[in-house]
């Protein structure tokens, strides 16, 4: 039992994952969050904001270092010949170098000090032994293979996104930066501006060797508003890129969680749709191959959604199909039975006539043979009409039918027929004299009322009256046919509409009716979304007054 359950779960999951509907649901549900995250991960504006903030921070650090240099490393210059003081101040390289290296190390930046002549006085990367670079390494993290793998993967994704964004939306080209062994102030535009007295000048360049972005700010070194040099502070964009990466990692982590939740919910939604649809399709396929019936269709009507409606519709459709198949089988059996009776009689008469020599008996047998042949011909015609009726009614287009005019014409035609049987046919039209319109086929509706009138005339005694009446009952047209005959056999009010049911007046010649007339009439009325019923009219004492057939059809507004 447990193994079977596991197999069913595996089969279900495999079917759901292979479903085209599942793939479409996933594609639709994932498109929106992917596009949203792609837009959020485009952080160039955020990078620009961080760059501007970093330049402001560099300016603050440059101002502090420049102020320290101005206060701690300036001396008066003595004229070598006159031994007198030269107006102005000069920067002492040794003192300035110590201040620049110490403060830039604390700030984590590179600082270069240029004298008033533009020569390099101090560089935080130059010491007694020459130029060097100090990089503070982060502490070694605790070993975490899973976390390291995830961080590396997210960093790789971030880098790939950055390259994709650069390809789609290229950034403006930055001026190149290259390290100069013995730089002077004129090599850097911001340093020249600072020596000229500009309060602050900055520049953003790209290192040609490391492809890193270099941010630099230059401020004048002043003592009592006298410019004695220029201080240029620079830093790469490592901090900025780390901040961008951290934000991207946070967004990606949230996105991965949302993505996983979206996939799970999509698979759940797909499963609730795909699995019942597959079961419905399989059951329908079994019914199509005659290996099941409507009871094999899964019933999902309790879901109260479109799948439930589809399930209910399929159950109703297959039930109707099964009922139709049963009706066809019953019809075929009834036809075989009805045809077999005249054939048996015909065979007996043919076999007998060959052995009879009396002319009178031969004539009677030939009359029986002709009656049976006529009965077969009439039966086959009625069967053919009944078999074509379903297809004709399903294909026909409903048209407006003036019921008053149709019934009046039929009553006029049957007035002559009734007179031949000494029966009076009377027609009562609508009381308000307004047209009574129904939607349907006038020829088939006429067939119904002709059949009812013919039956009523045949059952009415000599001197009797057949009344055809029509009236409006709100949104329905009600047609009644009353006769003065013996009424209906007790308990047969419904059975008379069955195929091949025949109940004829006494004295009528046998075999003149096929028993399909009322069945065809009911079929036509049902196809017009109406109803037909029969009853026996009685007086106050319960004595039969005759039969009444009532036809109710939907009618248009009066």
Segment among 56-60, 109-113, 264-268, 467-471 with least mean pLDDT: 264-268
pLDDT at 255 over 60: yes
Segment among 84-98, 224-238, 321-335, 540-554 with least mean pLDDT: 84-98
Number of other residues whose CB lies within 10 A of the CB of residue 57: 17
Instruction: Tell whether pTM > 0.75.
Output: no
Of 151, 144, 135, 138, residue with least CA distance to 246 = 151
- Contact at 8 Å (CB) between 197 and 219? no
Segment among 48-52, 317-321, 339-343, 462-466 with least mean pLDDT: 339-343
* Strand ranges of the sheet holding 544-554, from the earlier edge strand across to the other edge: 424-428, 465-473, 476-482, 544-554, 531-538
**Which residue bears the tokens 């308990």?**
491
DSSP string of 188-209?
Answer: SHHHHHHHTT-S-EEEEEEETT
Of 233, 235, 130, residue with least CA distance to 188 = 233
Q: What is the mean pLDDT of residues 397-411?
A: 89
Q: What is the CA radius of gyration of the chain?
A: 53
For residue 74, the cross-strand partners are 91
518/33: higher pLDDT: 518
Number of other residues whose CB lies within 10 A of the CB of residue 88: 12
157/96: higher pLDDT: 96
Listed in sequence order, the residues at least 6 apart from 183 whose beta carbon sits closer than 8 Å to its beta carbon are: 112, 120
Residue 120 confidence class, pLDDT cut points 50, 70, 90:
very high
| Token digits of residue 385 | 């009409």
- Contact at 8 Å (CB) between 210 and 133? no
pLDDT at 277 over 70: yes
Tell me the pLDDT of the chain averaged across its residues. 80
* pLDDT at residue 256, as a whole number: 85
Give tens-digit pLDDT for 431-455: 877 888 999 988 889 989 998 998 8
Assign a CATH topology to domain 308-395. Helix Hairpins (1.10.287)
With 0-12 / 13-18 / 19 or more C-beta atoms within 10 angstroms meaning exposed / middle / buried, residue 331 is middle
pLDDT at 7 over 50: no
Residue 146 confidence class, pLDDT cut points 50, 70, 90:
low
pLDDT at 551 over 90: yes
pLDDT at 237 over 50: yes
In angstroms, how far is CA 255 from the centroid of its own chain? 25
Segment among 100-109, 130-139, 164-173 with least mean pLDDT: 130-139
Residue 1 confidence class, pLDDT cut points 50, 70, 90:
very low
Of 463, 448, 440, residue with least CA distance to 534 = 448
Listed in sequence order, the residues at least 6 apart from 539 whose beta carbon sits closer than 8 Å to its beta carbon are: 545
Residue 2 confidence class, pLDDT cut points 50, 70, 90:
very low
* pLDDT at residue 150, as a whole number: 65
Q: What is the mean pLDDT of residues 493-499?
A: 85
- Contact at 8 Å (CB) between 455 and 518? yes
d(CA 414, CA 424): 9
Q: What is the mean pLDDT of residues 207-234?
A: 90
d(CA 95, CA 86): 20
d(CA 466, CA 483): 5
Of 465, 469, 448, 447, residue with least CA distance to 456 = 465
| Token digits of residue 58 | 């560099």
78/459: higher pLDDT: 459
Enumerate the domain spans of the chain.
308-395, 397-558
Of 529, 522, 420, 517, residue with least CA distance to 476 = 529
Long-range pairs of 133-141 with CB within 8 A, sequence gap ≥ 24? 134/105, 136/108
Listed in sequence order, the residues at least 6 apart from 179 whose beta carbon sits closer than 8 Å to its beta carbon are: 209
SS in 3 state form for 66-128? HHHHHHHCEEEEECCCCCCEEEEEEECHHHHHHHHHHHHHHHCCEEEEEECCCEEEEECCEEC
* pLDDT at residue 320, as a whole number: 81
* pLDDT at residue 397, as a whole number: 83
321/538: higher pLDDT: 538
pLDDT at 11 over 50: no
pLDDT at 467 over 80: yes
* pLDDT at residue 84, as a whole number: 46
- As a whole-number percent, the residues of the chain with pLDDT over 90 amount to 22
Task: Provide the b/e sequence for 240-278 (b: ≥16 CB within 10 Å).
Answer: bbebbbebbbebbeebeeebeebeeebbeebbebbbbbe
386/257: higher pLDDT: 257
Q: What is the mean pLDDT of residues 37-64?
A: 85
Give, to the nearest 10 degrees, the angle between helix 2-18 and helix 238-288. 110
* pLDDT at residue 56, as a whole number: 94
d(CA 162, CA 279): 47
Number of other residues whose CB lies within 10 A of the CB of residue 431: 9
Q: What is the mean pLDDT of residues 98-112?
A: 92
Helices and strands of the chain, counted as H and E runs: 12, 17
Half-sphere CA count of 457, side-chain side, radius 13 A: 22
**Which residue bears the tokens 């080209």?**
173
Q: What is the mean pLDDT of residues 396-414?
A: 88
Highest mean pLDDT among 224-233, 318-327, 502-511: 224-233
CATH 3.30.565.10 fits 397-558, yes or no: yes
* 8-state DSSP, 134: -
- As a whole-number percent, the residues of the chain with pLDDT over 70 amount to 83
Give tens-digit pLDDT for 534-550: 999 988 888 889 999 99
* pLDDT at residue 10, as a whole number: 46
């Amino acid at each position: 039992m447990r193994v079977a359950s596991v197999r069913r779960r595996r089969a279900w999951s495999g079917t759901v994952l292979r479903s085209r509907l599942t793939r479409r649901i996933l594609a639709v549900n994932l498109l929106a969050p992917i596009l949203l995250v792609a837009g959020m991960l485009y952080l160039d504006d955020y990078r620009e904001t961080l760059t501007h903030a970093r330049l402001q921070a560099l300016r603050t650090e440059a101002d502090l270092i420049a102020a320290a240099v101005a206060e701690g490393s300036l001396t008066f210059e003595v004229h070598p010949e006159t031994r007198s003081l030269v107006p102005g101040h000069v920067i002492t390289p040794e003192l300035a170098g110590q201040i620049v290296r110490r403060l830039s190390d604390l700030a984590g930046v590179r600082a270069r000090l240029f004298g008033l002549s533009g020569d390099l006085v101090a560089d935080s990367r130059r010491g007694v032994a020459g130029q060097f670079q100090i990089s503070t390494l982060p502490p070694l993290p605790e070993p975490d293979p899973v976390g390291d793998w995830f961080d590396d993967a997210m960093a790789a994704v971030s880098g790939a996104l950055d390259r994709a964004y650069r390809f789609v939306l290229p950034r403006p080209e930055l001026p190149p930066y290259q390290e100069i062994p013995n730089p002077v102030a004129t090599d850097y535009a911001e340093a020249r501006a600072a020596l000229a007295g500009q309060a602050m000048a900055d520049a953003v360049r790209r290192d040609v060797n490391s492809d890193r972005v270099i941010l630099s700010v230059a401020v004048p070194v002043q003592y009592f508003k006298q410019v004695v040099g220029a201080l240029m502070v620079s830093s790469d964009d490592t901090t900025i890129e780390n901040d961008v990466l951290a934000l991207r990692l946070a967004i990606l982590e949230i996105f991965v969680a949302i993505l996983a939740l979206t996939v799970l919910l999509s698979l759940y939604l797909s499963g609730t749709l795909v699995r019942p649809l597959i079961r419905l399709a399989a059951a329908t396929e079994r019914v199509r191959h005659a290996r099941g019936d409507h009871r094999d269709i899964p019933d999902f009507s309790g879901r109260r959604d479109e799948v439930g409606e589809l399930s209910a519709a399929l159950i109703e459709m297959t039930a109707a199909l099964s009922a139709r198949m049963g009706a066809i089988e019953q019809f075929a059996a009834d036809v075989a039975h009805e045809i077999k009776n005249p054939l048996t009689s015909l065979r007996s008469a043919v076999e007998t006539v060959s052995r009879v020599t009396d002319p009178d008996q031969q004539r009677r047998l030939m009359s029986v043979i002709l009656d049976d042949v006529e009965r077969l011909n009439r039966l086959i015609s009625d069967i053919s009409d009944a078999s074509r009726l379903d297809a004709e009614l399903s294909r026909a287009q409903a048209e407006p039918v003036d019921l008053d005019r149709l019934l009046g014409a039929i009553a006029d035609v049957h007035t002559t027929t009734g007179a031949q049987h000494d029966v009076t046919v009377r027609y009562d039209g609508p009381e308000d004299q307004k047209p009574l319109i129904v939607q349907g086929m006038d020829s088939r509706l006429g067939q119904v009322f002709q059949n009812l009138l013919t039956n009523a005339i045949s059952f009415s005694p000599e001197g009797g009256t057949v009344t055809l009446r029509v009236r409006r009952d709100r949104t329905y047209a009600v047609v009644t046919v009353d006769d003065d005959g013996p009424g209906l056999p007790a308990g047969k009010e419904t059975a008379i509409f069955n195929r091949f049911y025949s109940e004829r007046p006494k004295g009528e010649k046998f075999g003149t009716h096929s028993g399909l007339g009322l069945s065809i009439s009911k079929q036509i009325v049902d196809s017009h979304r109406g109803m037909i019923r029969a009853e026996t009219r009685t007086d106050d004492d319960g004595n039969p007054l005759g039969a009444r057939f009532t036809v109710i059809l939907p009618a248009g507004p009066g």
